[in-house]
Structure 1
Amino acid sequence: MKFGFHSLEGRIVTLFLVLIIALQVFALVVIQKGIDSNARASIATELANGEKVFRKLMEQNAQKRRFGAQVLARDTGFVQAVGNDAGGDRETIKSALENSARRVRADLTMLVDGERKVMVSTGIGRDPALEKLVLGLLDEAELSDGAIGTALVGNKPFQIVVMPVKAPITIAWIVMGFAIDRQLAVDMKALSALDVAIVARGADGRWLPVEATVAPAVAGAMAARLPAAAADLKSAFDVEIDGDQYSARLVDIGRDGERGAGVMLARSIEEATAEYTRLERRLMVLTIVGIIIAVVASVFTAKRIAQPLRQLAGIAARLERGDYRVQTGFAERRDEIGALAHAFDSMREGIAKREQEIRRLAYWDPLTNLPNRAQFVLLLNESLAEAKKREQQVFLLMMDLDRFKHVNDVMGHSFGDALLRQVGGRLQLQLAGAHADAHVARLGGDEFAVLLPACDIDGAHVIAANIRAALEQPLSLDDQTVDIGAGIGIAGYPVHGDDAEALLSMAEVAMYNAKQRNDGAVVYDPMIDKASETSLSLLTELRNAIENNEFRLHVQPKMKLATGEVVGVESLVRWAHPVRGNVFPDEFIPFAEQTGFIRVLTHWVLEQSAALCREMAAKGIHLKVSVNLSTRDLLDQELPNKFGGILARHQVLPQSFCLEITESAIMDDPVRAQQTLERLHAMGVDLSIDDFGTGYSSLAYLKRLPVDELKIDKSFVLNMENDIGDTKIVRSTIDLGHNMGLRVVAEGIESEAVWRLLAALGCDEGQGYFMSRPIPGDKLVDWIRNWVPPVRSPLPYADTRDSAATSNTIG
């Protein structure tokens, strides 16, 4: 087996190699950065110390030269010569200046008289820059008994010493100039080990070397690379000369306008890092040796790991081909490879035992021993291929048993399984004489399918009718007789489609339509699919409506009938559709309940109602908000927690809400409904039975519910003033509610007469179009402020209670 990058050995070796190289490169980079950082820090320190040494050296030289000038200034003969006559003895003065200059090694001398004019000068001609500097130092020299400065004379820097001549007042000044020359640079290098270059800048801004400890060519190159503003540099900078990198520092020693002088201290970076470079080379050698050793070790390790795995992979390939006789040969090893080989042997034995069972389970239903969906699709594809060759038709029937879930829940799953087996047998028996080539399959649950090759639509209808008749005959199991039926969907080739999955889908659509219509057998029609698409579209639009904030909260006020005081509102939802306009609840609430979307809608109404309640409370209006709950809401065990979160989020008390539930919603699952209601009531929320009187609930069960209110359905209220029977029902309901300690609310009040009649019967609260139609939530405050209860007057139905009682007794 060749060693390749995509092999396990290659990947192991590559991983080791990449990790080692990455680690070494990282280490070298860190070391290199450390070397460079340390070297530069060291050089910067050397240059900073060098500047201090240079300034100290300049100061020492200045003190020595100042002393030499002071000796001449205090010489009695010299003082007398300067003081003779108005102009002094010029020859004697000049001779004394020259002798003193030789003694102290001054390069120029000058005597300035009391009128601040140069009397005598030696060593140079007239230099305006020098004279200007000297005149600027005269006052300082007189006050401090001497002054020191730096001047450029002929593009060369000079250290100037000025000393007053006093007898006893100042009668003249001695000026001595000392060239800052190579000797200073040599002394500086001896003290600091730094290269020194004395440079001067002319009026044109160019720097020129004066003296240096390096070769003249190097000094010239250094000066040429200095920027025009280099005299302003306060820190080190780099210059490169013929490939050699220097770190330099410019020390300013004097300026005269654009002209100036400085000393450049430089340190070769290569020399400073020479020792570090040798150490870096040793590390490189060690790194290469380490990489070579690591490669060898990783190759050896990779082969030790990969070779047994490769052999096991070959064995797995033979197992894939169905050869279960092969042995691994590594089971005796005590390491992980041995454990893996042992697992391979166990797997081989298990696969060999289970393969036949898997094949059977993959294509056959273990409960009825009929073909399952996968096998039925294969059979359907074969029939379609044959029908296309012979230009025949193929039909399939799909059926779903009626009431099977109820049987399964009541009688148990074992009874349901036995029932499915009997149904499968009855279908096979029915088709044995009617269509010999037919195939029966159980697709899952209580769904069965029948394949009818070489059959037309009329034949499919006949067989579907026979099957339905056979299934409608009662089945007897364990001394129990069960009546079942089935909705049957019919689809076929080439009438409806030519693809197996498409035909199955079409037959399923027709089957569900048959169950909805309770019409036995239904042939697929594209219009059925369009209805399904419409329902799916409506669900999508409902979800988009929530996301796009298309729903609107409306409220209908509730009043105390005795006083007309507004005590609450019922929250209602309206849908402002961007295309259809206002969509009323009757058009989407039933669909929302059917699909389960009602939970999302209820959560939205609770959220908006809580926000409205808090807004009203902030304005000093405290009302009880009623919200309707559906059957699905009551079955949601998380509803109390969700509602509690809404109340906490909007800082609203539970007592501000009354949740309304219908009798039918409670009776769908009384146990779960009561658990949910008890948890809600424990929070402090009022509960109301909505549409009371229209359901079939048990009063014995109703009295155990934790409710606070009964709401009389509007069907009994609308015609109370004209129908004594409705009046009796309403009165009985009011008495029942009060006897149970409940608040009674009437809905559907559409006239003042009904209002007054309900008040006379003792009804507590009411709502209806007479008081207000549902209004947008943001208009409620204005409505309450403008609400005027009807004027109280003698009730026109004062004798209603007695009449109703008499009629009831007679009846």
Structure 2
Amino acid sequence: MSTTIAVQISSWYGSNRYNQQQLNQQTSNAKQVLEQYLSSQERLLVTAANVLTADFGFLRAVATSDMQTINSVLHNHSERIQADMMLLTDMSGNVTVSSQMGEGLTEKLTKDSVQRLIENPAKSFFATVGEHVYQLILLPVKAPHVIAYSVIGFEIEQDTVKELKSLTGLDISFYQGDTHLLSSTFRMTSYKAFHDALQAQSSPWLFIDRPAFLTEKIELRSANNAPVFVLLISSLKPLYKQYDEIVFHNTLLAIIAAIIASILSIVFAKTLTVPLSKLGQLAEYYAKGDYLKNIELRGGEEILNLQKSFREMGWQIKQREDEISYQATHDILTGLMNSHTLQKQLQNYLKPNQELLLVAFNIHNFRQINDRLGSDIANACLRMISARLKSIKTVDIQLAARMEGVEFFVILSPLSGHSPNQVVEMFLTELENDFVVLDLNIKLDLNAGITLYPEHGVHSSKMLRRTSIALDAARNGKQRIHYYETGEDEAHLQRISMIESLRKVLLEGGKGELFLVYQPKLSINDKQYIKTEALIRWRREDNTFISPEVFVNLAEEASLIVDLTNWVVRGVLEQVRQWHSDGLFIGAAINVSAQDLASSHFETFISETCAGVGVSPSYITIEITERDIMHDEASVVMSLRSLSRMGFVIAIDDYGIGQSSLSKLKGLPVDEIKLDKSFIMHLDESPKDQLIVKSTIELAHGLGFEVVAEGVENEASLEILKQYHCDQLQGYYFSKPIAAEAVSEWHKDHVENNTITGSVGYDQRG
């Protein structure tokens, strides 16, 4: 009997040790499955992020701060890959644009989290937002240097945890600190309470309370300051149940039961070890992308169910990867090749010893179709263009792709006996034939940019860029067809380089390159009343002078105009304060754009800057052109009224060459209008200009406006303006734009010495 007991005890001890090893192996396999699952998710994130940051249209939109296109690309891309978070940050990690599914979440995503992502690009991190867990990855946006960062993330949801449980056979919980985030068993707000609840559960046996669970903690790479952990929970109850049954049978059957139990334990161990080992091998195949690999297993119901779960996981991952691969290479709406794929495959079509026509075209009247008929009709038109591109037989289309928005790209083969222009005309004519959508006949107006291979280049990136440049020229010049011309590429790259230089200069506070000059404005009725107009200038480090018309227009295109205007406002107010400190109570006019007035921060910024510097708004004139008023009339008028109530003087610049009229201006909060210099420079020689100027001054005075004439260049024009009772004068006849330091000397020579009187000639010193 003692031998039987000794054998039984030895059997129990060996079996317990062996099964403990199997539990550890099961936990290790579960850990490997979890890590491989998260690694697979990371590769999906990297694939999606690479697609986004390589998108040509997206790069160009980010480089030029085209918010509408950026929002559209982020929205479309997030819908394609079903991302839960997609956003764009600037170089400092500040979120600038987010997709709809990222809204609200990005406000809670800490800047430290974004900075950690920036420091570790292309690596997935886990972050908690509220009580939600996200797997995030960041990639830089390069054009060609880093200009922004894109962040894409998927949420680790309750369904994901349940799926992991089915894959590993273990219960899983995510937690951070004392916050219990997700659980496949039951979830408690406090992780400590959850852990204590696990520890409190036991499996009693005779006089002993045995622990009910075996746990293992895994730390995940976290973007938050506090790390995120995964707890693997293995129930010990099945093992205890087996032990209790063995004890019961051994008690009844003694030595025979002990022998049978030993044999059964060995058999059971083998049936568990071999299948788990094979499932580990299957997980390795899945990690390598071989999702169709199958391994035959023999075992109990749990093993077979686990194998079934593994195969289902492999199939689902393969389906998801296939779908993402298709979405990554095709435009979802039209089914055409997308711009990312086009950039990768275009070079394969540019073969030596052949000629090709590369055509980029866009729908000129698409906005009207979308606004008047709705997005459903507009999208139907895009799909029908795709269908027509696939059905055209009159020309040979080798490749067709949708670039972005309403821009498409095709490669045409030359036709014998036809010139390139005839081939393009045939193609566009057939493409422009009326579309019938819901019984509506829709006519499309197309602009097309053309490059010829190999005449205009042999490299795909250069040809794609030059074709896009030709399309921009066609669109801006309102041409149906525009062929790329030598030098346009260089001009385009120069513009981008200049935009980046201007952006850098503004970030560095002007960097000694930007400076202000001031052109005096004189009052006819009050010779002591002097104003100036502040004008910005840019002289680069290499001493190259950039025309204001050039870089101001570039600033507007690249959404830098608000930063540029803010720089001017600070400089002008500081200078006006300095003049006042010197006893010269001179005012200044600042030119602003529609983008400035549309900014929600502009009114607050200029009023707070005035208060901080100590300059009364009454000394500052806000000048805006007619064109900018018409840009967004309702918004601009509201902003002008607000500025007028603050005490700023409001002036309409370049009056007479825009679309406004005095009847419209009477409803605006305007204090003065500036007659465009085209009416003034030859006033003494043009009776028509005299009639226009005289009538405009009389009507403006009748409406209570003061009138400023800019472009006064001779005494004869001055005398005419005096006769017409013009209020203020500005022009080279009095002074060119001069440095701020020269304004006080000019004031002393021309005002304090009272040299501006009657019809006496004015000094023209610059």
TM-score by length of 2: 0.56
SS of 1:679's equivalent?
Answer: helix
| 1:660-710 deviations in Å (ceiling 9; x for gaps) | 111111012212212322232232211101121221214443222211111
In structure 2, the residue matched to 1:635 is 598
- State the distance in 1 between where 2:635 and 2:323 align: 43
Cα 1:445–1:329 change in 2 (3 A) is farther
Corresponding residue SS for 1:505: helix
Residues 1:747 and 2:747 are matched in the alignment:
no
Q: 8 Å contact 1:602–1:629 — kept in the other structure?
A: yes
Residue aligning to 2:405: 445
Q: How does 1:612-761 map to 2 (within 5 A)?
A: 612-761=575-724
Cα drift, residue 367 of structure 1 = 2.3
| C-alpha distance in structure 2 between counterparts of 1:646 and 1:536, whole Å | 32
Partner of 2:291: 322
* Percent of residue pairs identical: 28
Structure 1: state its 5+ residue gaps: 12-296, 334-339, 797-811
CA distance in 2 between counterparts of 1:578 and 1:379 reads 41
What pairs with 1:344-359 in structure 2 (closer than 5 Å)? Answer: 351=317, 357-358=323-324
Higher RCO, 1 vs 2 (CA within 8 Å, ≥6 residues apart):
2
Instruction: Give yes or no for contact 2:517–2:537 (8 Å, CA) kept in 1.
Output: yes
SS at match of 2:583: coil
Aligned ranges 1:311-460 → 2 under 5 Å = 317=284, 320-323=289-292, 351=317, 357-358=323-324, 360-374=326-340, 376=342, 380=346, 383=349, 387=351, 392=354, 396-430=358-392, 432-435=393-396, 438-452=398-412
Distance 1:494 1:584 in 2: 33
Give the whole-Å Cα distance in 1 for the aligned partners of 2:716 and 2:589: 25
Q: Does 1:485 align with 2:446?
A: yes
Given candidates 735, 748, 762, the residue that maps to 1:772 is 735
Change over 3 Å in CA distance of 1:695–1:518 after alignment to 2: closer
Letter in 2 for 1:638: H
Give the drift of 1:307.
Answer: 8.7
Q: Would you say the 8 A contact 1:745–1:763 is kept in 2?
A: yes
Name the CA distance, whole Å, in 1 between partners of 2:296 and 2:617: 73
Distance in 2 of aligned mates of 1:310 and 1:609: 76
**Cα separation, partners in 2 of 1:302 and 1:523, compared to 1, 3 Å:** same
Match of 2:492 among 499, 509, 532: 532
C-alpha change, 1:610 and 1:8, in structure 2 (3 Å) is farther
> Can you list the C-alpha shifts for 1:272-322, whole angstroms capped at 9, x where unaligned?
xxxxxxxxxxxxxxxxxxxxxxxxx9x985599499999987665565533
How far does the alpha carbon of each residue in 1:457-516 deviate from its partner, in whole angstroms, 9 at most, with x for none? 9776543221222344454545454341121333536972255x5543343334334444
Change (3 A) 1:672 1:313: farther
Return the alpha-carbon distance in structure 1 between the equivalents of residues 578 and 675 of structure 2. 30
Give the secondary structure class of the aligned counterpart of 1:620: coil
- Structure 1 CA distance for aligned equivalents of residues 290 and 661 of structure 2: 68
Query: Amino acid of the residue matched to residue 395 of structure 2?
Result: A
Three-state SS of the structure 2 residue aligned to 1:438 is: strand
Cα deviations by residue, 1:598-654 (Å, 9 ceiling, x for unpaired):
333322221111011111111222222111112332333322122224223322222
- Partner of 2:457 in structure 1? 496
Bigger mean CA deviation after superposition, 391-400 or 415-424: 391-400
| Match status 1:575 vs 2:538 | yes
- Are the counterparts in 2 of residues 383 and 453 from structure 1 also a CA contact under 8 Å? no
Residue 525 of structure 1, CA deviation = 5.8
Deviation readout 1:351-372 (Å, 9 max, x if unpaired):
5765665455344433223333
SS at match of 1:568: strand
Secondary structure, aligned partner of 1:647: helix
Any idea what the Cα deviations from partners look like across 1:220-258, whole Å, max 9, x if unmatched?
Answer: xxxxxxxxxxxxxxxxxxxxxxxxxxxxxxxxxxxxxxx
Distance verdict in 2 for CA 1:378–1:744, change over 3 Å: closer
Task: Mark the CA change 1:402 to 1:716 in structure 2 (over 3 Å): closer, same or farther.
Answer: same
CA–CA distance in structure 2, aligned partners of residues 411 and 421 of structure 1: 16
Matches within 5 A, 1:166-177: none
Q: Which amino acid aligns with 2:424?
A: A
Matched, 1:603 2:569: no
Taking only aligned residues, the RMSD between alpha carbons, in angstroms, comes to: 4.6
1:560 Cα deviation from its structure 2 partner: 1.8
Structure-1 separation of matches of 2:584 and 2:594: 32
Q: Deviations over 1:30-67 (max 9, x none)?
A: xxxxxxxxxxxxxxxxxxxxxxxxxxxxxxxxxxxxxx
On the 8 A contact 2:672/2:706 being kept in 1, the answer is: yes
TM-score for both structures, normalised by structure 1: 0.53
Query: Could you say if the C-alpha distance between residues 674 and 341 of structure 1 is closer, same or farther in structure 2, counting changes exceeding 3 Å?
Result: farther
Q: Which residue identity does 1:404 align to in structure 2?
A: F
Q: Distance in 1 between matches of 2:216 and 2:418?
A: 72
CA 701–495 in structure 1, closer or farther in 2 if over 3 Å, else same = closer
Residue 421 of structure 1: CA displacement?
2.3
Distance 1:344 1:410, change over 3 A: farther
Equivalences for residues 52-201 of structure 1 within 5 A: none
Per-residue CA deviation, residues 351-410 of structure 1 (Å, 9 max, x unaligned), is 5765665455344433223333455567646545xx56xx65565433223233343344
Supply the distance in 2 between the matched residues of 1:603 and 1:659 (Cα, whole angstroms): 13
Determine the structure 1 residue equivalent to 2:143: none
1:729 CA drift (Å): 1.9
Distance 2:363 2:348 in 1: 27
The size of the alignment, in residue pairs, is: 497
AA of the residue aligned to 2:429: A
Residues 561 and 759 in structure 1, CA contact (< 8 A), matched pair in contact too: yes
Q: CA deviation at 1:735?
A: 2.2
- Aligned: 1:554 with 2:523: no
Q: Which amino acid is 2:449 matched to? A: I
Distance in 2, matches of 1:343 and 1:683, equals 69
Counterpart Cα distance in 1 of 2:530 and 2:455: 67
Check conservation: 1:496, 1:503, Cα contact below 8 A.
yes
Offset at 1:416?
1.8
CA shift, 1:765, in A, is: 1.9
CA distance 1:301–1:328, change in 2 (3 Å): farther
In our comparison, the structure showing a higher alpha carbon Rg is 1
Return the alpha-carbon distance in structure 1 between the equivalents of residues 684 and 711 of structure 2.
Answer: 13
Q: Secondary structure at the match of 1:731?
A: helix
| Paired residue type of 1:407 | I
Give CA-to-partner distance per residue, 1:738-761, whole Å, 9 cap, x none. 222222222222334433432332
Letter in 1 for 2:451: I
Match of 2:174 in 1: none
Distance, in Å, in 1 between the alignment partners of 2:544 and 2:606 is 31
Separation of aligned partners in 2, 1:532 and 1:661: 29
Q: Distance in 1 between matches of 2:347 and 2:389?
A: 22
Mapped to 1, the partners of 2:375 and 2:520 lie a distance apart of 51
* Paired residue type of 1:781: S
- Assess, with a 3 A threshold, how the Cα gap between structure 1 residues 512 and 344 changes in structure 2: closer, same or farther: farther
The DSSP-based 3-state class of the residue aligned with 1:738 is: helix
Q: Quick one: structure 1 residues 398 and 795, their matched pair in 2 at CA, closer, same or farther if it must change by over 3 Å?
A: closer
SS in 1 for 2:532: strand
Q: Does the CA contact (< 8 Å) of 2:592 and 2:624 recur in 1?
A: yes
